[in-house]
Amino acid sequence: METRPQKVKPHHKLRPLTPRRKFLLLIAVVAVIAVIYAVVDPAERFMPKCLVHELTGYQCPGCGSQRMLHALLHGDLQGAWHFNPALLVSLPLILAMVVLEIYRSRFPRLYAALYSLPSVIVMLTAIIVWTIVRNL
């Protein structure tokens, strides 16, 4: 007697997130991060240390990000600039990239331009230059 393979039904299927739900998820994640960095001062409390800085003594491109966010969330723009000016300047671009990732079907040309090879090369070059400059 031959038995046919039975299809196993998953208990529940995860539906793909709609752009609206992705956007709401993004807002929730940003809100949680904002509350954490507004309440916790990374300079005073235990927060994850940078592995690159711990091992090499050099600052990576992201060093000072937590203190920068904390300063920024307290309206201290000068302090935010002091801790990581490159990240401070890049924040609008980073937010735009995340939002564009969610709404890529609505803005396909902008998405393609932002994630194009020349654009990625410019961003990587900027990160490398920033890493060198901040360690001079």
Chain residues in the site for Zn ion (CB under 5 A): 50, 52-53, 60, 63
H or E stretch covering 80: helix 77-83
* 113 within 8 A of 119, measured Cβ to Cβ: yes
CB of 128 to Zn ion, least distance (A): 14
Q: Which is nearer to Zn ion, 51 or 117 (CB)?
A: 51
CB of 63 to Zn ion, least distance (A): 3
Q: Which is nearer to Zn ion, 26 or 52 (CB)?
A: 52
Q: Which is nearer to Zn ion, 99 or 123 (CB)?
A: 123
CB of 105 to Zn ion, least distance (A): 35
94-102: Cβ within 8 A, 24+ apart? 98/26, 99/23, 99/26, 102/19, 102/22, 102/23, 102/26
